[in-house]
Structures are given as C-alpha cells and as structure tokens.
C-alpha cells in the first residue's frame, strides 16, 4: 500500500512539473529577451517567416513521401517483404509482423503510428510483439523524411538535393539497424 502511495505521489509530482515546463520556458525566454534588450516581437515574426519559407520549400517532398508510404501500405508490398524476411528474422527473434512497421517508420512517423495501433489491436500491448513495436517506435527515426528536410532546408544543391548525401544515409541506416537489434535485446531482457 505504501508503494502505491509513493508512486501516486511521484506521478502527481511529475504531472505538476510537466505542467509548469512550458510556462517556465516562455517566462525564461521573456526574461532573457528583456535582459539583453532584444525586440522579441521582431525576432518572433522573423523566425515565423523563415519557418514558413522552409515549409514552402519542403512541402512537395512531404507530399511525395506521404503518397509513397500510402501506396506501399495499401498495395501489400510491405506484407510480402515481411513474409520474405520471416525466416532470417526469426533467428534473432524479430517477428515478421513488425517488418512493415520498421520500414514505414523510416519514411513516416504518422503512418508507422497507424501500423503500431494495428499491431496493438492484433497482438495486444503487453505481448512480445507489442512491447517490441513500442520500443522500435521510440528508438528509430524517420530517416528519409529527416534527410530530405535537412538537405532541402540547408539549400544543399536545390536542383538535385539528394546527390550529395555522403555518409548521411548509410550512417542513418546503420543506426536504425542498431536500434532494431537493441530493441530485440531489451525486450528479451524484460
């Protein structure tokens, strides 16, 4: 009973602190701006204007990525890839049902969230598949989206933005693979 009371007290404290974080950050920014005599409104409007320019430049890429993910998801190609990889992945304990989630997460977090909910409905949240899917979602990144946004926002060869990726994509893919392996290990330890 005492353990429940302590955990309830800790949860209330965390909720209280999390409710204070945003006002504290805003208050800190205002204090910093006033102490350095920065025109906050001008800085805010300039930042918003620059942000809209970036959104305008990357919008076609975002639409293309969302369209491609939608086509892949509805076509059933991801399920076929999962079936093909079922045997090799079963050796390391990676369920083939999570292959579509792992692939889609590299392109779109919102589409991956939809797949995650489907996994929860099918297997449950406390199953091996549900736990592994949850950890996969938290330790992976939408690498293709992030790379495209970064390269377009930095003006890296706007005519052919993906020509000078260098080691960005291989490094991101290796990190994603490491995250997948770590997820399997963590769930097996749990």
Task: Compute the Cα dihedral for 55, 59, 61, 63 and give only its sign.
Answer: positive
Quick one: average pLDDT of 38-53?
84
Residues 87 and 138 in one domain: yes
φ and ψ at residue 157, rounded to 5 degrees: 55, 75
Quick one: average pLDDT of 34-60?
83
d(C-alpha 117, C-alpha 127), whole Å = 13
Residues 90 and 168 in one domain: yes
Residues 88 and 8 in one domain: no
Based on the structure, what is the number of domains in the chain? 2
Whether the predicted pLDDT of 125 surpasses 60 = yes
Residues 166 and 137 in one domain: yes
pTM of the model: 0.61
Output the CA–CA distances (angstroms, integers) from residue 107 to 37, 64, 80, 101, in the order listed: 42, 11, 18, 10
Residues 109 and 183 in one domain: yes
Residues 19 and 93 in one domain: no
Q: With CA atoms as reference, report the closest residue to 150 among 71, 80, 54.
A: 54
Residues 26 and 115 in one domain: no
Residues 161 and 132 in one domain: yes
Q: What does the pLDDT look like over 84-116, one tens digit per residue?
A: 887 888 777 788 888 888 888 888 787 788 888
For residue 163, give its domain range: 47-189
What DSSP line would sit under 104-152, residue for residue?
A: HHTT-HHHHHHHHHHHHHHH-SSSHHHHHHHHHHHS---HHHHHHHHHH
Residues 155 and 178 in one domain: yes
Q: What does the pLDDT look like over 140-173, one tens digit per residue?
A: 888 887 887 777 766 655 555 555 667 788 888 8
121 burial (CB, 10 Å; 0-12 / 13-18 / 19+) is: exposed
Residues 106 and 127 in one domain: yes
CA-only gyration radius of the chain, Å: 22
| 100, 79 contact by CB (below 8 A) | yes
**Which residue shows structure tokens 């893919």?**
173
Whether the predicted pLDDT of 2 surpasses 70 = no
Token pair for residue 91?
Answer: 């050796």
């Amino acid at each position: 009973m005492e353990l429940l009371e302590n955990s309830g007290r800790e949860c209330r404290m965390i909720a209280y602190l999390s409710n204070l974080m945003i006002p504290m950050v805003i208050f800190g920014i205002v204090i910093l701006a006033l102490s350095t005599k920065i025109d906050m409104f001008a800085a805010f409007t300039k930042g918003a204007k620059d942000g809209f320019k970036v959104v305008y430049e990357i919008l076609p890429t975002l639409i293309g990525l969302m369209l491609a993910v939608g086509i892949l998801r509805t076509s059933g190609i991801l399920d076929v890839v999962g079936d093909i990889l079922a045997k090799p992945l079963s050796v390391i304990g990676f369920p083939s049902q999570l292959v579509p989630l792992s692939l889609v997460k590299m392109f779109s977090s919102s589409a991956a969230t939809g797949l995650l909910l489907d996994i929860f409905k099918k297997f449950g949240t406390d199953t091996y598949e549900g736990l592994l899917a949850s950890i996969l979602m938290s330790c992976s990144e939408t690498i293709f989206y992030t790379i495209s946004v970064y390269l377009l926002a930095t003006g890296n060869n706007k005519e052919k933005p993906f020509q000078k990726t260098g080691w960005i994509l291989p490094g991101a893919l290796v990190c994603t693979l490491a995250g997948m392996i770590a997820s399997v290990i963590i769930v097996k330890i749990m």
